[in-house]
DNA sequence: TGCTTTTATATTCCATTTCATATATTCATA
DNA sequence: TATGAATATATGAAATGGAATATAAAAGCA
């Protein structure tokens, strides 16, 4: 039976690779915290997907399907199906814009709003409890850094796409 | 057509809710960074799931299926199926332990190791590039905070489970 | 204007993932 | 030690998600 191998080069962390790998830490923290709150969402009869969509729509005037997909981190074709169900439930509505008849504008309905608003309050409570162990400036710092990472990546993606477009 | 409503109470961020919601920032940053690296994984003929499993196993002597599931953040039944396929491919192997015949020990094979090692090097490179925009101590700080969040939640989960068990 | 390319959404098909449950084993204890 | 509860893994059905493609509209341009 083989012994575990150390892959690290000199001067690195001596723990297992993933334990200090940023992408793992992000996935694991997201997974852990989300799981807790998702229990709350389900308790109130919403699906996680629906919660995400409503949370993204609630304080916006309406979004194009594709914009919304980027925001909620779903594939476009997947979001189309989620929205189908949500329209049936009266949580959101589809409408066409005049300027471009391909576009579909998604807006939250009053009913959707009624359902999501208390959940947002619950989400804020949950966030407070979840970060209790962090001290002082850490939460602000964390959010600041995460926003930087997200922004950097969006820029990177856009750049890559533009370069493809140039071909 | 309704105007967007502000849900925030006094003194809060004035941007849309999700843009400053920790769980969203974690999910979005994880999603964005992972997507980049996943392209690299696929290029090398591995599936994301397989990469995760191998990355978790590579510097460990072997793990019980359920332990591994917790680490890679999969459902147990899901991991069982992923492992089925990986055994077929010769990337990992299942073996039984003597102490408890229910348990299945999962270990990476030499072949799995050969495939995952260069990917770990690539992962480290990618991480370096991904955090270029962060300054000085920010990466260390970020990892430190994420580890705290993950730890706190594991503790919380264990506590909750124990309480259920007491019923 | 007509033609090609690009963009936005929907649809179809298939792989993945989950949920509930089955099976096997171990544990606790009467 | 027999019995019921708990634990580890596997399985099957159903839901979900994603890749490729179809459809429709707009944009670019010869």
Tally of residues, chain A = 167
pLDDT score of B162 more than 80: no
Could you please report the per-residue DSSP string of chain A? -PPPPP---TTS--S-GGGG-HHHHHHHHHHHHHHHHHHHHHHTT--HHHHHHHHHHTTSS-EEHHHHHHHHT--HHHHHHHHHHHHHTTSEEEEE-SS-TT-EEEEE-HHHHHHHHHHHHHHHHHHHHHTTTS-TTHHHHHHHHHHHHHHHHHHHHHHHHHHHHH-
CB contact under 8 A, B33 and A153: yes
Question: Any atom of strand D under 7 A from CB of A102?
Answer: yes
List chain D nucleotides near protein: any atom < 7 Å from a Cβ. Answer: 6-12, 16-21, 24-27
pLDDT, residue B163, reads: 40
B73 closest CB neighbour out of A5, A27, A153: A27
Distances in whole angstroms, Cα of residue B69 to Cα of each of B63, B102, B103: 9, 16, 13
pLDDT score of B34 more than 70: yes
pLDDT, residue A63, reads: 96
pLDDT, residue B136, reads: 84
Find the residue closest to D7 using CA and C1' atoms.
B102
Per-residue pLDDT tens listing for chain A (167 residues):
445 555 444 445 578 999 999 999 999 999 999 999 999 999 998 999 999 999 999 999 999 999 999 999 999 999 999 999 999 999 999 999 989 999 999 999 999 999 999 999 999 999 999 999 998 899 999 999 999 999 886 655 544 443 333 33
Give the best residue of B1, B136, B142, B159 to mutate against chain A (max A CB count within 10 A). Answer: B142
Higher pLDDT, B13 or B23: B23
Find the residue closest to C6 using CA and C1' atoms.
A165
Dump pLDDT digits (tens) for B110-131: 999 999 999 999 999 999 999 9
Give the best residue of A8, A11, A12, A26 to mutate against chain B (max B CB count within 10 A). Answer: A26
B149 touches chain A (CB under 8 A): yes
* Least confident interval from A151-160, B57-66, B76-85: A151-160
* Banded pLDDT at B13 (limits 50, 70, 90): low
* Banded pLDDT at B148 (limits 50, 70, 90): very high
Question: Any atom of strand C under 7 A from CB of A100?
Answer: yes
Point out the nucleotide closest to A79 (alpha carbon to C1′). D17
pLDDT, residue A161, reads: 41
Tell me, in Å, how far CA of B43 is from C1' of C4?
Answer: 32
Higher pLDDT, B10 or A43: A43
CB contact under 8 A, B110 and A30: no
Compute the average pLDDT of residues B34-63.
Answer: 95
Point out the nucleotide closest to A81 (alpha carbon to C1′). C10
CB contact under 8 A, A21 and B55: yes
Point out the nucleotide closest to B66 (alpha carbon to C1′). D8
């Amino acid at each position: 039976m083989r012994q575990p191998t150390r892959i690290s080069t000199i001067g690195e962390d001596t723990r297992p690779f993933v334990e200090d790998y940023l992408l793992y830490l992000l996935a694991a923290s997201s997974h852990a915290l989300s799981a807790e709150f998702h229990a709350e969402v389900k308790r109130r009869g919403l699906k996680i997907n629906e919660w995400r969509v409503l949370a993204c729509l609630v304080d916006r005037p309406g979004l194009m399907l594709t914009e919304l997909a980027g925001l909620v981190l779903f594939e476009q074709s997947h979001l189309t199906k989620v929205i189908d169900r949500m329209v049936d439930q009266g949580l959101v509505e589809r409408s066409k814009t005049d300027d471009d008849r391909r576009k579909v504008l998604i807006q939250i309905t009053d009913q959707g709003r009624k359902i999501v608003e208390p959940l947002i309050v619950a989400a804020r409570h949950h966030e407070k409890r979840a970060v209790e162990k962090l001290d002082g400036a850490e939460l602000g710092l964390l959010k600041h850094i995460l926003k930087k990472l997200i922004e950097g990546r969006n820029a990177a993606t856009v750049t890559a796409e533009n370069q493809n477009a140039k071909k």
